Structure 1
C-alpha cells in the first residue's frame, strides 16, 4: 500500500532574480512501513520536499496523497487535521517547549488530540527511550541527546502512520547521534511506522531501505538497500 503518493510535483518561489524552481516534475510513491532517506547537497530541495510530503507546505502544482488523503486539495485547516491524525515529526532543533517538563512535552499533543490517559502513554514512551528518570526535568536541564529522545518519544507516542525527520542527528555528537539512529529504527520496526528522513549523514541514510538523491529539485539517484525487506516504488 502506498502511504505517500506524489504526482508531478513542482515548487516555484519568487525571488529578486525571478521565479526559482526548487522541485521540478517529481513523482514518488512510498510504501507503508518502509524507511526512506532523502539526501543531496545543500540547496537540492530536500527539506522542501519533506515539507511538501508532510503537508507543511503546498506545491505550486501537482498532487500529493498522504495516508489516503489528497492534501493538495485541502486548506491549511484540513492539512492540519491530516497531520494530527497521521503524522509525527522530529526536527534537528528538537522544538521542545521550555516551560514544560519532558513528560508534559510528550503529553501535550496527546491531550490536544483527546487521547485517554495521555500521562500514562507519555510515561511509557519516555521509558522506551530511556528517560524514565528524567521525566520531570525541563529541556534546559537535559543534554542535546536527551532532548532529541524526548522529541522522539513525543513523535512516536501519537502512534503516527508516517514519521518525518529533518536532520534528526544534526545537533548531536557522533556517539549520541548513533544512539538516536538506533532508537528511530527500533521504534520503526516495532510500530511499523513509515520513516521519511532528510539527512546529510551517510550512516543514517544507509540504515534506510531506500535512498533518494536530489539535485536541483530532481531525483538523480534512487537506490534500494540490499537489506530492504519492503520496497519503495519511484514512479516513472
Structure 2
C-alpha cells in the first residue's frame, strides 16, 4: 500500500459574519495515498475550494490537523507552511495565475530560479515543449489564448517536480473542446511524473478520470470512493 502523503483529521473552518458564525467545513477527515489521483466534487458552495486551500497550506483551519507528507502543517506558522509548499507542492488554478509582465518561459522558470534550481531555463523549455508551446516561449500571457495560458500553468507546475499537485477547476475558464485537451494533458503529465493529484472540479467526466472521488456537501464529506 502506498504511503499516505496527505491526511486531514477532524478539520473544520468557521468564519465570523456580521451577525453569526458561518461553518464552511465541518469535521472533515480524509487520507490520500502517494501517487494517487483524487477528485473533490460537490455542489457550488459545498466547501471544495476552501478544503483545497487548507490541504495545500494556503489557509489554516479553525480546528483539526493536516499532515502534508511528514509535515504537520497546521502546527506551523505561515513561513513554515511556505517552505513546505515550495518543497512539495504545485498549483494549477482556474484563472491561470500567470505574471503578465513575464514571457511564457519566464513564468515557468521563475519558481525554479527562486528555489535555486540550477537548470531552470532548460527545464522550463523542456516542459513548454511537452505542453506543445515550443514556438510560444517568448510570448506574454496577453498574446496567448486561454488554453495556451493554462498550458503554461501546467508546465510551470510540473517543471518544479512537485510531490503533490493541487488543481482548482483547471478547465473552468475554458470552452469544452479546449478543456478536454487541457485535462488530457494534465493526466498525461501527472502519470509521467508520478505526482499525487488533488483536483477540485464540478465536471463529473473529469472527476471520473481520477482513481478516487471525494464528495462533499454542506461542508461535510458524504462519500469517498
Aligned mates of 1:164, 1:85 — CA distance in 2: 14
Q: Give the deviation of 1:43 after TM superposition.
A: 0.8
Aligned mates of 1:26, 1:107 — CA distance in 2: 36
Partner of 1:167: 169
Aligned mates of 1:91, 1:57 — CA distance in 2: 16
Q: Give the deviation of 1:16 after TM superposition.
A: 1.7
Aligned mates of 1:61, 1:19 — CA distance in 2: 14
Q: Give the deviation of 1:86 after TM superposition.
A: 0.2
Partner of 1:11: 13
Q: Paired residue for 1:137, among 136, 139, 143? A: 139
Aligned mates of 2:19, 2:177 — CA distance in 1: 43
Structure 1: gaps of 5 or more residues = 224-236
The reply to whether residue 120 of structure 1 matches residue 126 of structure 2 is: no
Q: Paired residue for 2:94, among 92, 95, 98? A: 92
Q: Paired residue for 1:50, among 52, 64, 85? A: 52
Partner of 1:192: 194
TM-score by length of 2: 0.98
Partner of 2:75: 73
Q: Give the deviation of 1:14 after TM superposition.
A: 0.4
Which region of structure 1 is more displaced relative to structure 2, 210-219 or 80-89?
210-219
Aligned mates of 1:86, 1:78 — CA distance in 2: 12
Partner of 1:228: none
Aligned mates of 2:63, 2:190 — CA distance in 1: 31
Aligned mates of 2:74, 2:224 — CA distance in 1: 25
Q: Paired residue for 1:181, among 162, 180, 183? A: 183
Which region of structure 1 is more displaced relative to structure 2, 205-214 or 84-93?
205-214
* 4+ residue segments displaced more than 3 Å: none
Paired residue secondary structure (1:207) = coil
Aligned mates of 2:82, 2:211 — CA distance in 1: 28
CA offsets per residue over residues 18-70 of structure 1, 9 Å max, x none?
11111111111000000111011111000000000000000111110001100
Q: Give the deviation of 1:203 after TM superposition.
A: 1.4
TM-score by length of 1: 0.93
Aligned residues: 223
Q: Give the deviation of 1:17 after TM superposition.
A: 2.9
Aligned mates of 1:10, 1:219 — CA distance in 2: 11
